[in-house]
Amino acid sequence: MLIKSPDDILPSEITSPALYSRRRDFIKTGIGLGASLILPGTAAFAAPKPTVPFSTAKKSPYSTTDESLTDHQDVTRYNNYYEFGTNKADPARYADALQTRPWTVSIEGLVKQPKTLGIDDILKVAPLEERIYRMRCVEGWSMVIPWVGLPLSSLLKQVEPLGGAKYVEFITAVQPENMPGVRRRVLDWPYTEGLRLDEAMHPLTIMAVGLYGEALLNQNGAPLRLVVPWKYGFKNGKSIVKIRFTDKEPRTSWMKAGPFEYGFYSNVNPEVDHPRWSQARERRIGEFTKRKTLMFNGYGDQVAQLYTGMNLKINF
């Protein structure tokens, strides 16, 4: 069966920020009789009110602080979340149906103390921090987002990983009744991602529970999502329900879908092109002039040592 996935979509087919903004303004102002009928599901753009305020989260020394934040509306209405559809606007339209309470995350595999934690328990594992990170999508666009979260390492240490654990696998939620995208075999559900253990334990890697001082909206991966700022966006699994330690490299969803286009590491690397477009430049959402893509998304000083001696064109 022929499946159209992001690796089949050329950058020229990606909705431009200007066009997207005009459409958003059209929806917002209600110009035109029956606008809600023209765009089905428009009512879902009235995002659910966040349930938990995180405005008191402390500022993190790991933040990127010298760049302007991406507009809140773009961050919450221009998303990749294929469980709700492949269009950038689909998550904001349909994700309000996602059930995020109650929510538990099982942490298992090569660990001494496997646990199942509720989201409220996870919030108590470590003090929440605001982390302002650059985020780069493999499709060629980028954002600067003020996440609220906790170091992933603090969560993983709760289960005491065994010596044989070398990788961490992340498995996300599947709610067929609430996620229209999973009814199509765009990917092999559930969405699965993975990190090497030292990547997972790196202080830049966080579990995000909020953004802009508020709880994550469903379209952004509520109630809990992975954020690894030096990797392409698809590595950052949303709505996580299971974390598993293993001694073998996990076979991730995009590796299964396009093994010659999506590698396990997926580090932001302007020197390794996607087979059908360059990764050397990117377009920051809200800007019109492309900028140079930074190696490791600008986090090389912190993470380059993780890959010493590795050929990053082979290990892409």
Could you give the domains of the chain? 6-307 (3.90.420.10)
- CA diameter of the chain: 64
Q: Which is it for strands 240-246 and 104-109: parallel, antiparallel or unpaired?
A: parallel
Tokens of residue 219, six digits: 């379209």
Per residue in 189-233, pLDDT tens? 999 999 999 999 999 999 999 999 999 999 999 999 999 999 999
- In this prediction, residue 12 has a pLDDT band, given cuts at 50, 70 and 90, of very low
Q: Which residues contact 29 (CB under 8 A, 6 or more apart)?
A: none
In whole angstroms, what is the distance from residue 202 CA to residue 110 CA?
A: 19
Per residue in 242-283, pLDDT tens? 999 999 999 999 999 999 999 999 999 999 999 999 999 999
Instruction: Note the pLDDT of residue 90.
Output: 97
Task: Please count the CA atoms within 13 angstroms of the CA of 216 that sit on its side-chain side.
Answer: 30
In whole angstroms, what is the distance from residue 9 CA to residue 12 CA?
A: 8
Query: Where does residue 252 fall: left (phi above 0), alpha (psi -120 to 50 degrees), or beta otherwise?
Result: beta
- In this prediction, residue 158 has a pLDDT band, given cuts at 50, 70 and 90, of very high
Instruction: Quote the mean pLDDT of the chain.
Output: 86
Q: Does residue 119 carry a pLDDT above 90?
A: yes
Per residue in 43-98, pLDDT tens? 333 344 444 567 778 889 999 878 999 999 999 999 999 999 999 999 999 999 99
| DSSP string of the chain, one letter each residue | -----GGGS-GGGSPPHHHHHHHHHHHHHT-STTHHHHSTTGGGGSPPPPSSB-TTPEEPTT---SSPPPPHHHHHHS---GGG-SSTTHHHHHGGG---SS-EEEEEESBSS-EEEEHHHHTTSS--EEEEEEEE-TTSEEEEEEEEEEEHHHHHGGG-B-TT--EEEEEE---TTT-GGGGSTTS-SSPEEEEEHHHHTSTT-EEEEEETTEEPPGGGTTT-EEE-TTBBGGGS--SEEEEEEESS----HHHHH-TTT--SS-B--TTS-BTTB--SEEEETT-SS-EEPPGGGGTHHHHGGGGTT--TTT--
Neighbours of 126 (CB within 10 A): 18
Tokens of residue 108, six digits: 């298992």
Q: Does residue 21 carry a pLDDT above 80?
A: no
Instruction: Note the pLDDT of residue 300.
Output: 98
Tokens of residue 214, six digits: 């508020």
- In this prediction, residue 168 has a pLDDT band, given cuts at 50, 70 and 90, of very high
Q: Write the single-letter amino acid at 205.
A: T
End-to-end Cα, the chain, rounded Å: 27
Q: Is-cis flag, bond preceding 223, omega within 30? A: yes
- Across 31-35, 129-133, 311-315, least confident range: 31-35
Task: Give percent of the chain above pLDDT 70.
Answer: 83
